Amino acid sequence: MTNRYQKLVSAGPAKEVAKRLGLPRPAELRRYRPSEPLVPGPVLVLGSGASAEPVSEQLLAWGLDVYRHQPQGRRLGAVIVAYDDVSHPGDLADAALELGPAVRQLAPSGRVITVSRPARAGDAPAVAAARRGVEGLLRSLARELRGGATGNGILLAEGVGAGAPSALAALRFLLSGRSAYVDGQFLSVGSENGAAPEDWDRPLAGRVAVVTGAARGIGAAIARVLARDGAKIVAVDVPAAGGALTSVANEVRGTALQLDITRADAGHLILEHALERHGGLDIVVHNAGITRDKLLVNMDEARWKSVLAVNIESQLRMNEAFLGAGRDGLRIVSLASTSGIAGNRGQTNYAASKAGVMGMVEASAADFAAIGGGINAVAPGFIETDMTAKVPVPTRAVARLLMPSLMQGGLPVDVAEAIAFLASDAAAGINGETLRVCGQSLIGR
Amino acid sequence: MASSAPSAPQHPTTGARTVRDAVVIGGNRIPFARANGKYADASNQDMLTAALDGLVARFGLQGERIGAVAAGAVLKHSRDFNLVREAVLGTALDPATPAYDVQMACATGMEAIGSLANKIKLGQLDSAIGGGVDTTSDAPIAVSEGLRRVLLEFSRARSGKQRLAALSKFRPKDLAPNAPGTGEPRTGLSMGEHQALTTAAWGITREAQDELALASHQNLAAAYDRHFFDDLITEYRGLSRDNNLRADTTLEKLGTLKPVFGKDLGSKATMTAGNSTPLTDGASAVLLGSEEYARQHDLPMLANFVDFEAGAVDFVHGREGLLMAPAYAVPRLLERNGLTLQDFDFYEIHEAFAGTVLSTLAAWEDEDFCRNKLGLDAALGPIDRSRLNVAGSSLAAGHPFAATGGRIVATLAKLLHEKGSGRGLISVCAAGGQGVVAILEAR
Ligand SMILES: NC(=O)c1ccc[n+]([C@@H]2O[C@H](COP(=O)([O-])OP(=O)(O)OC[C@H]3O[C@@H](n4cnc5c(N)ncnc54)[C@H](O)[C@@H]3O)[C@@H](O)[C@H]2O)c1
């Protein structure tokens, strides 16, 4: 799916004009298709960190061509930089200066991935400076990449090796087309929990997953992607969206549960349906959400309260019900928004709810870890759906084309892929985190 | 048959096979819409397909081969000769699911569901879907009898001369089309006019009819408000509630409406558009199965479909009211199952007209009627009116003829399941002086 502007400027004479005027030319992103190669070329591993070794081994095990020095005349599928040993800003130089020429050789939709450790309050100042330095370097490099290539990092908590299941799963996610619209982001791996799936093309086989707001937009895409990855889907939406919900449920061969998630007993009804009809509940995706935009000076009670009720209060209540039911291993993924990070004019209510989601996720991590599960959020940027079709055209054009490094809006499937990854057992070492799927945008939403 | 009814006859056995329970698993319908409104350009096939697909989604039946799907429509295009099979082929069900059309006027849905239940009881089917659909908006319009004869003769003609001869028989008045009516072919009276006679004969007052209509609207609205229909209805074409429902209607508002039937009764005319069902479009479907089927598929069991009975009366010679057949069928059904009229926790009496329900109840309370017409020793007696149509009925929801049976069976099954015990009685009258009544039992 491409928008008209994108079609116009990526072909024919318009392409030349756009080039001369310096207009952005969005690239077609590489998106995941089962059984396609993980990356579009060989992988170069740079840096002297200890992670270089296990990472290279895993890449070989995945059947990839791996080089420790740039191969002559070959387009690279990805460059991985092992920065997990840096202890002084001066340590960044060697790999950075090797990375530059390698980026020139990067194939379209190639990947740059750093592996490093997060700076912590107790670190020596030089160590923290070096570690944070990696983040600055990577985020800027991501803005320099073209042709649908992305740059992201993996942050390994102290004591967690690069061979940890979630570190490798994160690596695979970031290399693959599943992360097409994830750019300039860091995924934090906090523990050695998790296990690789038997089949990387069906990582959710045998799982029962509930998706709220599944009748359309991002929710429908989540239902499709989780089903493709092997999960049995319970598709939830309000009765007023029943017709569309039916189509989605029938397409993914799941069941439809018509339910307003703001009901006090929503969590209970979801549990009951999942257990009675599918014999389990392994994944919940809190996707249902609404916007009721107004400047705060014009905000009325109904707009404020309904957004908070649907987007965050319902989730808090449902999570309590799920925790209370002791569903061992339950994994939750909740929809935040870049509005909740950067703020967005006219969205005080929405941003409060979405920042609230991130707060909830951080604060609930320990409780979910205690039952062997986890909770994370995904913060989409500008995604082309019915919800964003309501955004005024000029705002939409700017949001879509100018601000994100990838110079285009994302597709619902891009958000869905990130959610499927975080919902998988292989991601069990990632907990309490928010992953942005925004094409590295500057502004909110 | 009712396993809990002490005096029920023993289950007949065939070889080693015992009659088993037929279970109502759940239902789905699209909201009912007043004719020529929201569904004006939806066909019977569209609506039935939507009702079936909603059922499939609710119970995860995609790709399943269901034992049989039986449904029907009262008003049918000739192109819809295989309506139900065509609908099934358009759903997410396994195309190897057999389907057939049933037609018994407004009792079509009940007859379809009851017969399927019997097949399940006999072990011929493990699963089944019964229901119905009707549209008075997209109704078949036939050419006039005169034009039809001309066209048939024309198509049989071999020579140009014969064709000309055929065409010469055409008269301009033949151009007027024949729209289907709800009038009785043998009396020429509409259903409403027939009921007006019955209503007057039983002395049913305007107030009593308006009160029943009000209760129907209030009960239906309350059921929506408590989310009762969240797993019984699926939104269709932007409608998520029956649009005939007037949650805010009052006795005063109903009282202002002018009589539309029985107008020759003058000031004694009582039947208005408020206490009669409007023409409606809609579709419904009910999933039935054996106990084993439900368990194997992790499906809920709401109620047993215990038994059903059809009735018919001679309204042609004025011996009985057109819509009074259920009054005769119920005592037979009660007798067979060893029950009295008071042995029920819920009564679902289809509100073709408020007058129909009230005439039927009055007849059962009438000593003379019960002795002389029903051949009983005494009156069947009154029912507890607080148990009547507790989630609303046709006056509020509307009445797409063949779809009403499915609406009632699914509603009653859920009511019984919620209560966790007890029985419900269904009574549906139909054109042609017929009716079907049934008993469901909670699971
Ligand atoms: N589209 C974007 O650009 C974007 C960006 C950031 C975050 N998000 C978030 O992603 C999620 C999905 O967004 P979308 O664009 O697909 O929206 P959408 O409006 O297309 O779909 C949202 C769905 O949620 C359902 N829903 C709303 N209230 C509900 C309730 N009370 N109970 C059950 N279901 C309910 C709606 O019926 C609808 O089907 C939302 O949480 C949204 O805030 C979207």
Q: Using 50, 70 and 90 to split pLDDT, how confident is the model at A14?
A: very low
Q: Please indicate whether residue B168 or residue B45 has the higher confidence score (pLDDT).
A: B45
B219 pLDDT higher than 60: yes
A76 pLDDT higher than 70: yes
B371 pLDDT higher than 80: yes
Q: Using 50, 70 and 90 to split pLDDT, how confident is the model at A7?
A: low
Secondary structure of residue A433 in the 3-state scheme: coil
Q: Using 50, 70 and 90 to split pLDDT, how confident is the model at A443?
A: low
B329 pLDDT higher than 80: yes
pLDDT at B16: 53
Rounded distance, CA B1 to CA B182, Å?
35
Of B370, B350, B368, which Cα lies nearest the Cα of B358? B350
pLDDT at B332: 98
Q: Using 50, 70 and 90 to split pLDDT, how confident is the model at A203?
A: very high
Q: Render A172-232 in DSSP notation, one character per residue.
A: HHHHSGGGTT--S-EEEE--S-----S-TT-TTTT-EEEEETTTSHHHHHHHHHHHHTT-E
pLDDT at A398: 65
Rounded distance, CA A414 to CA A378, Å?
11
Rounded distance, CA B321 to CA B196, Å?
9
Amino acid at B66: I
B281 token code pair:
């479009």
| Chain B nearest C-alpha distance from A271 (Å) | 14
Whether A258 and A242 have beta carbons less than 8 Å apart is answered as yes
A23 pLDDT higher than 80: no
- 10 Å CB burial of residue A120 (0-12, 13-18, 19+) is exposed
CB within 8 Å of A246: residues ≥ 6 apart: A256, B50, B53, B54, B56, B57, B234
| Chain length of chain A | 445
Whether B106 and B407 have beta carbons less than 8 Å apart is answered as no
Per cent of chain A over pLDDT 70 is: 92
B32 token code pair:
């009912």
Q: Using 50, 70 and 90 to split pLDDT, how confident is the model at B408?
A: very high
Per cent of chain B over pLDDT 70 is: 93
Rounded distance, CA B22 to CA B26, Å?
12
Q: In the 8-state DSSP scheme, what is residue A373? A: -
Q: Using 50, 70 and 90 to split pLDDT, how confident is the model at A386?
A: confident
| Residue found under tokens 């023409």 | B279
- 10 Å CB burial of residue B314 (0-12, 13-18, 19+) is exposed
B184 pLDDT higher than 50: yes
Rounded distance, CA A83 to CA A68, Å?
14
Q: Which residues line ligand 1 (CB under 6 A)?
A: A 212-213, 215-219, 237-238, 241, 260-262, 287-290, 310, 335, 337, 380, 382-383, 385-388, 445
A350 pLDDT higher than 90: yes
- For A374, phi then psi, to 5°, come to -170, 165
| Residue found under tokens 């069900």 | B93
Ranked by mean pLDDT, the top range of A41-50, B161-170, B185-194 is A41-50
Question: What is the arithmetic mean of pLDDT over B412-431?
Answer: 98
Residue with CA nearest ligand 1 atom 41: A289
Rounded distance, CA B297 to CA B60, Å?
9
Whether A103 and A145 have beta carbons less than 8 Å apart is answered as yes
- Distance, first Cα to last Cα, chain B: 14
Q: Please indicate whether residue B7 or residue B246 has the higher confidence score (pLDDT).
A: B246
Q: Which helix (H) or strand (E) holds A377?
A: strand A374-380
Q: Using 50, 70 and 90 to split pLDDT, how confident is the model at B153?
A: confident
A20 vs B: CB within 8 A = no
Q: What is the pLDDT of residues A327-338, one digit of tens each?
A: 999 999 999 999
| Chain B nearest C-alpha distance from A374 (Å) | 28
pLDDT at B438: 98
A354 pLDDT higher than 80: yes
A405 pLDDT higher than 80: yes
B220 pLDDT higher than 50: yes
Q: What is the pLDDT of residues A218-227, one digit of tens each?
A: 999 999 999 9
Q: Using 50, 70 and 90 to split pLDDT, how confident is the model at B272?
A: very high
pLDDT at B8: 46
For residue A113, list its beta bridge partners.
Answer: A80, A152
Dist. CA B152 → ligand 1 center (Å): 58
Query: Is B399 considered catalytic here?
Result: yes
Nearest CA in chain A to B236: A243
Nearest-10 Cα torsion for A180, A181, A186, A188: -70
Q: Using 50, 70 and 90 to split pLDDT, how confident is the model at A15?
A: low
Nearest CA in chain B to A266: B227
pLDDT at B188: 86
**Contact at CB, B57 and A256, closer than 8 angstroms:** yes
pLDDT at B340: 98
Q: Using 50, 70 and 90 to split pLDDT, how confident is the model at A287?
A: very high
- For B138, phi then psi, to 5°, come to -100, 45
Q: What is the mean pLDDT of chain A?
A: 93
- 10 Å CB burial of residue B158 (0-12, 13-18, 19+) is exposed
Residues 280-299 of A with CB under 8 A from B: none
**Contact at CB, B235 and A241, closer than 8 angstroms:** yes
A112 pLDDT higher than 70: yes
**For the CA of A380, the nearest atom of ligand 1:** 6
Half-sphere exposure at residue A258, Cβ-oriented, CA atoms within 13 angstroms: 25
pLDDT at A444: 42
Rounded distance, CA B43 to CA A91, Å?
73
Sign of the CA dihedral A358, A362, A368, A372? Answer: positive
Q: Please indicate whether residue A226 or residue A5 has the higher confidence score (pLDDT).
A: A226
The domains of chain A, with CATH numbers, are: 24-189 (3.40.50.720), 208-437 (3.40.50.720)
- 10 Å CB burial of residue B93 (0-12, 13-18, 19+) is buried
Rounded distance, CA B112 to CA B110, Å?
5
Rounded distance, CA B210 to CA A304, Å?
42
Q: What is the pLDDT of residues A161-182, one digit of tens each?
A: 999 999 999 999 999 999 999 9
Mutate which: B61, B234, B287, B414, vs A, most A CBs within 10 A: B234
pLDDT at A8: 45
Whether A332 and A314 have beta carbons less than 8 Å apart is answered as no
- 10 Å CB burial of residue A308 (0-12, 13-18, 19+) is middle
Q: Please indicate whether residue A127 or residue A2 has the higher confidence score (pLDDT).
A: A127
Q: What is the pLDDT of residues A242-284, one digit of tens each?
A: 999 999 999 999 999 999 999 999 999 999 999 999 999 999 9
pLDDT at A13: 47
The lowest-confidence range among A82-86, B265-269, B423-427 is B265-269
Nearest CA in chain A to B231: A258
pLDDT at A10: 52
Parallel, antiparallel or unpaired: strands A232-237 and B434-442: unpaired
A43 pLDDT higher than 70: yes
**Contact at CB, A258 and B299, closer than 8 angstroms:** no
pLDDT at A20: 56
The lowest-confidence range among A193-197, B265-269, B301-305 is B265-269
Parallel, antiparallel or unpaired: strands A66-67 and A43-46: parallel
**Contact at CB, B57 and A243, closer than 8 angstroms:** no
CB within 8 Å of B107: residues ≥ 6 apart: B310, B405, B428, B429, B430, B434, B435, B436
B174 pLDDT higher than 90: no
Rounded distance, CA A85 to CA A50, Å?
7
CB within 8 Å of A151: residues ≥ 6 apart: A111, A112, A113, A114, A138, A139, A141, A142, A145, A183, A184
**Contact at CB, A279 and B231, closer than 8 angstroms:** no
What's the distance, CA A342 to chain centroid? Answer: 17
Considering B217, B350, B399, B417, which one is annotated as catalytic? B399
Q: What is the pLDDT of residues B64-100, one digit of tens each?
A: 999 999 999 999 888 899 999 999 999 999 999 999 9
Chain A residues in contact with B56 by the CB 8 A cut-off are 246, 250
CB pairs under 8 A between A and B: 64
SS3 for chain B is: CCCCCCCCCCCCEECCEECCCCEEEEEEECCCEECCCCCCCCCHHHHHHHHHHHHHHHHCCCCCCCCEEEECCCCCCHHHCCHHHHHHHCCCCCCCCCEEECCECECHHHHHHHHHHHHHHCCCCCEEEEEEEECCCCCCCECCHHHHHHHHHHHHCCCHHHHHHHHHCCCHHHHCCECCCCECCCCCCEHHHHHHHHHHHCCCCHHHHHHHHHHHHHHHHHHHHCCHHHHCECCECCECCCCCCCCCCCHHHHHCCCEEECHHHHHHCCEECCCECCEEEEEEEEEEECHHHHHHCCCCCCEEEEEEEEEECCCCCCCCCCCCHHHHHHHHHHHHHCCCCCCCCEEEECCCEHHHHHHHHHHHHCHHHHHHCCCCCCCCCCCCHHHECCCCCHHHHCECHHHHHHHHHHHHHHHHHHHCCCEEEEEEEECCCEEEEEEEEEC
pLDDT at B2: 42
Which of B59, B233, B236 has the CB atom closest to A255's CB atom? B59
**Contact at CB, A239 and B58, closer than 8 angstroms:** no
Task: State pTM to two decimals.
Answer: 0.92
Residues 32-51 of B with CB under 8 A from A: 50
pLDDT at B179: 58
Q: What is the pLDDT of residues A357-374, one digit of tens each?
A: 999 999 999 999 999 999
Rounded distance, CA B32 to CA B233, Å?
10
Q: Which residues of B32-65 are buried (b: 16+ CB within 10 A; e: fewer)?
A: bbbbeebbeebbbbbbbbbbbbbbbbbbbbbeee
B357 pLDDT higher than 90: yes
Rounded distance, CA A429 to CA A170, Å?
10
Q: What is the mean pLDDT of chain B?
A: 92
pLDDT at A252: 98
Ranked by mean pLDDT, the top range of A76-90, A373-387, B8-22 is A76-90
Nearest-10 Cα torsion for B323, B324, B329, B332: 180
B172 token code pair:
């301009």
**A241 vs A237, A358, B8, B191, B232, CA distance in Å?**
6, 27, 45, 37, 14
CB within 8 Å of A363: residues ≥ 6 apart: A432
A1 pLDDT higher than 50: no
| Residue found under tokens 């939750």 | A332
A17 pLDDT higher than 80: no
Nearest CA in chain B to A249: B57
**Contact at CB, A258 and B300, closer than 8 angstroms:** no
The lowest-confidence range among A269-278, A392-401, B285-294 is A392-401
